[in-house]
C-alpha cells in the first residue's frame, strides 16, 4: 500500500524515486475533501508524488487533475492497468485498455485542465482477464504502442 507512511519510508531510501499514491477513484477524490486530506495528504519532503486516478468521466477527471495540481502533486496519472477488485468491474482501470479512443479523450481532458504533467499507467496481458472467451490478444510492444 503506497500510503503516506510507506512513501515517507521510501523517500528515506531514495531521494530520487518518483512516489505514487494508490489509485483513487475520481468520484471519491472529488466528493470529499476530508477523505482526500486523510488518504492523500503528503509532506513536501515526499515530492515528487504522482496522483493516480481511476475513472471514466472526462469532466470529473479534468476537474480532479486541476485539483491534484493545485494540491501540489507533481504529476497526475490515469490508471489503465489495474485489473484488481478495486476497479469493481467498472469501466476504468484495465477496462480502458479495450477502448483507446475513449482513453485518449479522457487523457486530453485531463491534460487541458492540469498544470501538472499527465501520464497513463497501462500494461500488457490484461485482455484475457477482461474477457476470458475472447481470442488471444496481441500483447506485444506494437499493440501497446498503438494503444
Active-site residues: which are they?
82
Which phi and psi (to 5°) does residue 121 adopt? -100, 125
Per-position DSSP letters for 99-115, written without gaps between them? -HHHHHHHHHHHHHH-S
In 3-state terms, what secondary structure has residue 119? Answer: strand
| Helix ranges restricted to H, 14-125 | 26-31, 33-40, 58-70, 100-113
**What is each CA distance from 146 to 7, 84, 100, 129, 131, in whole angstroms?**
33, 24, 9, 20, 20
Q: How far apart are CA 24 and CA 78, in angstroms?
A: 10
Contact by Cβ (8 Å): 130, 90: no
Amino acid at each position: 500500500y503506497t500510503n503516506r507512511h510507506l512513501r515517507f519510508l521510501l523517500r528515506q531510501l531514495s531521494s530520487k524515486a518518483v512516489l505514487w499514491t494508490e489509485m483513487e477513484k475520481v468520484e471519491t477524490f472529488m466528493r470529499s475533501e476530508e477523505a482526500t486530506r486523510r488518504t492523500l495528504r503528503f509532506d513536501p519532503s515526499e515530492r515528487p508524488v504522482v496522483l493516480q486516478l481511476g475513472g471514466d468521466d472526462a469532466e470529473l477527471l479534468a476537474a480532479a487533475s486541476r485539483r491534484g495540481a493545485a494540491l501540489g502533486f507533481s504529476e497526475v496519472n490515469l490508471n489503465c492497468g489495474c485489473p484488481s477488485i478495486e476497479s469493481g468491474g467498472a469501466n476504468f482501470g484495465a477496462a480502458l485498455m479495450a477502448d483507446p479512443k475513449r482513453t485518449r479523450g479522457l487523457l486530453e481532458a485531463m491534460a487541458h485542465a492540469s498544470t501538472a504533467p499527465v501520464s497513463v499507467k497501462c500494461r500488457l496481458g490484461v485482455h484475457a482477464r477482461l474477457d476470458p472467451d475472447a481470442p488471444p490478444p496481441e500483447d506485444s510492444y506494437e499493440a501497446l504502442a498503438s494503444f
